[in-house]
Structure 1
């Protein structure tokens, strides 16, 4: 029995990046032998065990055979005679198919170290095409590593395109799509996720509402980048700077302009009422991917209200109050702060405007704080019924907003 450290921990150490979770492969062992040494079985689909002291995962070496569509369509074979090389062969990319033994020596049968040095994401074997999740993983890894200079090998991109053409991505489970999307939106360059999916044709199948934005023109005086799809890419990368690792903010940025794909050709490059027309495709996207409720709720707020925040200086105090109320900002104040972040990403996500000032976010937060500071217990409510109490509280909060502006 021999144990190897594998996967991301080995890869990240070679890249000089902080290590995350450690995973181990055990060669030459049976489940009974693992349990006899105190390992606790946890694997449902294949033999995985938790170390009795560290609780890290140890998986028996295994092979996989395609037996159906999608990422669940596999049968697993795990016997003591399966070699490390056979186990590594089933992995997605060469940079993830490197192992390290107890002596610190690397086992690299598929050239992963050379690909790390060349900054290339390359599939290990033709079996890559059997699992459509690998397309999403390729795009997610590009969102993480494009700032380091990574690119996808030509032959891997060709294989990804063939998977899309053959309909393999159509078997992806919605929850898994959203999981990979959410993880990609937490990376430093989420724009690379969209570009990679679009390059292989998967974006139109997975996120057709977003894919439809590419090629849609905007007014050049407001959007020097012109293309709406490019605008969304720029916004996502600004959001990654403003709120690093925040998938909720990034999801709202991703979906805030979906209405622009529905603008009649006669109205282009203007996009009248796109903040309203964007709600229908946003609902469709959220329902299809089974998006969490707060993601969907905040995304709808940002889609509907982002233009109002942009012109905040023009709004009356009563209009500002009602905007906050529509966000449920008195019960859920964090929503207003997040709306401001999304709007700043929208403003700065334009060619040549990455460093632009956006005072509206600070102003919105200040007006919101003033309104929040007004509590019912601070008001004289004697003799008032429910609706009258609500109206008096509203007027007091409007007055507080107006006072900040005076």
Structure 2
């Protein structure tokens, strides 16, 4: 029995990056031997065991054969005869197909170290094209290592293109797709993930609503970058630069989908794109079964982001309606994330990345004013039910009018 550290742990050590997760492969052992040494079995599909002391996962070296469609369409074979090289060749990228023993002696049959040095993301074997999830994984790695200058090898991009055209991407489950998408959006350069998906044709399969934005012009006076797709990538980039949470990044990606529906004869204007885009945002949310908080914020940002930009011009009554829509009294964090998404939208424009956004503080102040209206005096007047609600609304409107007047005077 020989045990090797494999995959990401080896890759990141060689890159000088922190190693978080460690994968272990056991060569030359049987299930019975693992059990005899106290390893606990997990995983129904192939032999994986938990170390009796550390609890880390150890997998028997295995080969795999395509037996169906999608991510799960594989038959695995694990036995003591499977070599380390046979196990490594089934992996996605050369930089993930390296192993090292407990003395840090490197096994690198597919030249992963060379590709690390050349900053290339390259598939290990033609079997890469058997797993559609790898399209998303490679795009995610491209986003993760873009800052180091990594690019996808042309021949790998071509395989990704073939996968995108094969119909295999549709076999991916919403859960598996969302796991990759959400992880990619939390990388330092998530816009690269979208760019790579677009380059290989996967974006128009997975998110045709986002793909449709490219080539759609916007008024240059507001959008020096002009192209709606490029603007979306820039907004997403800003959200990552400012270390925003997944909810904000997802909303930034989807906020302008309505512009893809604007008839060409109306370009570059996009009247009411906030409302026309809602059905598209809802469709993307449901397609990937995004978490509820991501879904809600994306829809609210899509509908109200232009309200955010025009905050200083809004009538007090419109401002109150906006605050009510977000339920700022019980869910203040959601409104804060809306404000941030609006600011990322304003900054995601060519040459305007450093612009100030006074609307943010104005909206925060308005929310505080509305929340500050006391309920107790109204209760003491004997108001309850709908009467109480209307009275509270009137008091909040009065507070917002005073706030607006003081702010603009």
Determine the structure 1 residue equivalent to 2:196. 196
Deviation of 1:332 (Å): 1.2
1:29-44 map, 5 Å: 29-44=29-44
CA–CA distance in structure 1, aligned partners of residues 59 and 10 of structure 2: 16
CA–CA distance in structure 2, aligned partners of residues 340 and 243 of structure 1: 15
Determine the structure 1 residue equivalent to 2:264. 265
**Helix, strand or coil for the counterpart of 1:368?**
helix
CA–CA distance in structure 1, aligned partners of residues 358 and 57 of structure 2: 48
**Helix, strand or coil for the counterpart of 1:391?**
helix
User: Is structure 2 residue 294 aligned with structure 1 residue 298?
Assistant: no
RMSD, aligned CA: 1.3
Are the equivalent residues in 2 in contact too, given 1:3–1:24 (CA < 8 A)?
yes
Determine the structure 1 residue equivalent to 2:120. 120
1:174-208 residue CA offsets vs partner (Å, 9 max, x unmatched): 22112211111101111111110111111100001
Are the equivalent residues in 2 in contact too, given 1:310–1:343 (CA < 8 A)?
yes
**Helix, strand or coil for the counterpart of 1:266?**
helix
CA–CA distance in structure 2, aligned partners of residues 349 and 388 of structure 1: 44
**Helix, strand or coil for the counterpart of 1:170?**
helix
Deviation of 1:347 (Å): 0.5
CA–CA distance in structure 2, aligned partners of residues 351 and 209 of structure 1: 23
CA–CA distance in structure 1, aligned partners of residues 212 and 97 of structure 2: 36
Determine the structure 2 residue equivalent to 1:17. 17
Determine the structure 2 residue equivalent to 1:142. 142
Are the equivalent residues in 2 in contact too, given 1:122–1:153 (CA < 8 A)?
yes
Deviation of 1:170 (Å): 2.3
CA–CA distance in structure 1, aligned partners of residues 44 and 287 of structure 2: 27
Runs of 4+ in 1 over 6 A off after TM superposition: none
**Helix, strand or coil for the counterpart of 1:390?**
helix
Deviation of 1:290 (Å): 1.9
Deviation of 1:21 (Å): 1.1
Deviation of 1:52 (Å): 1.5
Determine the structure 2 residue equivalent to 1:369. 368
1:314-329 map, 5 Å: 314-329=313-328
**Helix, strand or coil for the counterpart of 2:26?**
strand
User: Is structure 2 residue 268 aligned with structure 1 residue 286?
Assistant: no
CA–CA distance in structure 2, aligned partners of residues 243 and 316 of structure 1: 32
Deviation of 1:127 (Å): 0.3
Determine the structure 2 residue equivalent to 1:350. 349
**Helix, strand or coil for the counterpart of 2:176?**
helix
CA–CA distance in structure 2, aligned partners of residues 251 and 25 of structure 1: 35
CA–CA distance in structure 2, aligned partners of residues 26 and 147 of structure 1: 34
1:158-177 map, 5 Å: 158-177=158-177
1:339-368 residue CA offsets vs partner (Å, 9 max, x unmatched): 011101111001111111112122212221
Are the equivalent residues in 2 in contact too, given 1:142–1:193 (CA < 8 A)?
yes
**Helix, strand or coil for the counterpart of 1:26?**
strand
1:108-137 residue CA offsets vs partner (Å, 9 max, x unmatched): 111111111111000000000000000000
Are the equivalent residues in 1 in contact too, given 2:258–2:278 (CA < 8 A)?
yes
1:33-182 map, 5 Å: 33-182=33-182
Gaps (5+ residues) in structure 1? Answer: none
Q: Which deviates more, 369-378 or 308-317?
A: 369-378
Q: Which deviates more, 101-110 or 158-167?
A: 158-167
Deviation of 1:379 (Å): 4.2
TM (norm. structure 2) is 0.96
TM (norm. structure 1) is 0.97
**Helix, strand or coil for the counterpart of 2:188?**
coil
CA–CA distance in structure 2, aligned partners of residues 27 and 378 of structure 1: 75
CA–CA distance in structure 2, aligned partners of residues 122 and 168 of structure 1: 20
CA–CA distance in structure 1, aligned partners of residues 39 and 80 of structure 2: 17
Are the equivalent residues in 2 in contact too, given 1:243–1:249 (CA < 8 A)?
no
**Helix, strand or coil for the counterpart of 1:41?**
strand
Deviation of 1:100 (Å): 1.1
Deviation of 1:92 (Å): 0.2
CA–CA distance in structure 1, aligned partners of residues 116 and 373 of structure 2: 57
Are the equivalent residues in 1 in contact too, given 2:379–2:388 (CA < 8 A)?
no
Count of aligned residue pairs for this structure pair: 405
Q: Which deviates more, 150-159 or 363-372?
A: 363-372
User: Is structure 2 residue 384 aligned with structure 1 residue 396?
Assistant: no
